[in-house]
């Protein structure tokens, strides 16, 4: 069965600091992994996805994620946080077109 675990339901960083949001997956087949961002009272917007090409994936808004098979991880990073990055972030794994989402990480950016 496929699943994702997001460590840390709340993360706070200072503006300009590194953002690191953790995601570990469990999959019986080579995974397809996604990161989505959700702003209050809005739908989910795709940040980036891993589809077995390059292990370092670059997304929108300066975010990137690295697929590490040995650690079954797909952590999301951004070198310098901006106030507009404050939102909820979801990691998801895909299997046969069905997505399994993590419980989300709420990112707070402190001015």
Partner 1 sequence: EAEVAQSPRYKITEKSQAVAFWCDPISGHATLYWYRQILGQGPELLVQFQDESVVDDSQLPKDRFSAERLKGVDSTLKIQPAELGDSAMYLCASSWQTSGRSDTQYFGPGTRLTVL
Looking at residue 96, what DSSP letter applies?
T
Q: Which residues pair with 77 in a beta bridge?
A: 20, 64
Bridge partners of 56, per DSSP, are 66
CA distance 91 to 41: 18
Structure tokens at 67: 């697929």
Residue 16 Cβ vs partner 1, minimum distance, rounded to whole Å: 28
- Residue number with CB closer to partner 1 (17 or 64): 64
The site map against partner 1 for 43-82 (x = CB under 8 A) is xxxx--x-xx------------------------------
Binding site for partner 1 (CB under 8 A): 9, 32, 34, 36, 41-46, 49, 51-52, 90, 92, 94-99, 101-104
């Amino acid at each position: 069965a496929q699943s994702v675990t997001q460590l840390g339901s709340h993360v706070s960083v200072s503006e300009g600091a590194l953002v690191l949001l953790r995601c570990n997956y469990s999959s019986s087949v080579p995974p397809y992994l996604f990161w989505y961002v959700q702003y209050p009272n809005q739908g989910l917007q795709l940040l980036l996805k891993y589809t077995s090409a390059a292990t370092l994936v670059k997304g929108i808004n300066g975010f990137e994620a690295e697929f590490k098979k040995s650690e079954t991880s797909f952590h999301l990073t951004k070198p310098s946080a901006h106030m507009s990055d404050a939102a909820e972030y979801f990691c998801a794994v895909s299997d046969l077109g069905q997505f399994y989402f993590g419980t989300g990480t709420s990112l707070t950016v402190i001015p």
